[in-house]
Amino acid sequence: MSELDPSLPALVGLRCRCGTLRGQVDATPVRGRRAGLHIVCYCADCRAFALALERPDGLDAAGGTAIWQTTPSRVRIQSGTEQLRCLRLSDKGMLRWHTACCNTPVANTMSSPGFPFAGLIRTCLELSDERQAALLGTATGVNGRSAKGQAPAGTEATASLGTILRTIAFLLRGRLAGAQRPTPFFDANGQPVVTPRVLSVAEREAVRERDR
Ligand SMILES: [Zn+2]
Ligand SMILES: [Zn+2]
């Protein structure tokens, strides 16, 4: 399969459900190392993001969100940028990026532009099962203790030491490479490209209630 040849660039389409927002993610491995970390997060905040957008269809049977954590430098948005929106579950929360056109969850980032971190919501990635397995690898389930019902076997209750260390190493490598830039999520002044909307307490409560 030429598309899995590690010497070739592996570009993956990024697409909202309606196709207005489109982009490309460079998932090319570096010296045999995959370009990101593949997780399924069962935490209530990731689930609240999907529920706030009325998009529970993106969750798995136990309420998990599949995420490919890569660096912003690998993400390009090529059309539909004007549809990009940003949500925060609270005024201290992560920035949770989605589209206005069709309420598609797109990505999570930290609130500071200095982190070489973009957690792409996997449902936006245009990948065959085969390419997904090759480029993203098997997902590690995390925060299983917050799952709805029984998370799949092997899901970590929170995050194992191995998962934490892999994440720290990923962030350090990204920082050394300056991979927090370029970014489609922050402008040249380090501000989010759209002003985040923070859920009101009532909205947040309503979302939590629906998760019970
Ligand atoms: Zn859309
Ligand atoms: Zn989560």
Rounded to the nearest angstrom, the distance between the alpha carbon of 54 and the centre of ligand 2 is 17
Predicted local distance difference test score (pLDDT) of residue 1: 44
Which bound ligand lies closest to the C-alpha atom of 47?
2
Rounded to the nearest angstrom, the distance between the alpha carbon of 57 and the centre of ligand 1 is 15
Helices (H), ranges, the chain: 44-52, 129-135, 161-176, 201-210
Residues with CB under 5 A from ligand 1 (ion): 16, 18, 20, 99, 101-102
Portion of the chain with pLDDT greater than 90, in percent: 92
Bridge-based pairing of strands 11-15 and 22-26 is antiparallel
The pLDDT tens digits of the residues spanning 50-94 come to: 999 999 999 999 999 999 999 999 999 999 999 999 999 999 989
Which bound ligand lies closest to the C-alpha atom of 144?
2
Rounded to the nearest angstrom, the distance between the alpha carbon of 184 and the centre of ligand 2 is 21
Rounded to the nearest angstrom, the distance between the alpha carbon of 192 and the centre of ligand 1 is 20
Q: Across all residues in the chain, what is the average pLDDT?
A: 95
Eight-state DSSP code of residue 63: S
Are the C-beta atoms of residues 79 and 24 closer than 8 Å to each other? no
The pTM is what?
Answer: 0.95
The pLDDT tens digits of the residues spanning 161-212 come to: 999 999 999 999 999 999 999 999 999 999 999 999 999 999 999 999 999 8
Rounded to the nearest angstrom, the distance between the alpha carbon of 1 and the centre of ligand 2 is 34
Domain ranges, residue 54: 2-210
Confidence of residue 8 (pLDDT cuts 50, 70, 90): confident
- Hey, CA dihedral for 178, 182, 188, 192, is it positive or negative? negative
* Higher per-residue confidence, 1 vs 162: 162
- CATH code where residue 124 lies: 2.170.150.70
Domains of the chain: total? 1
Rounded to the nearest angstrom, the distance between the alpha carbon of 87 and the centre of ligand 1 is 16
Are the C-beta atoms of residues 108 and 95 closer than 8 Å to each other? yes
Residue 159 has pLDDT above 80, yes or no: yes
Which bound ligand lies closest to the C-alpha atom of 105?
1
Confidence of residue 7 (pLDDT cuts 50, 70, 90): low
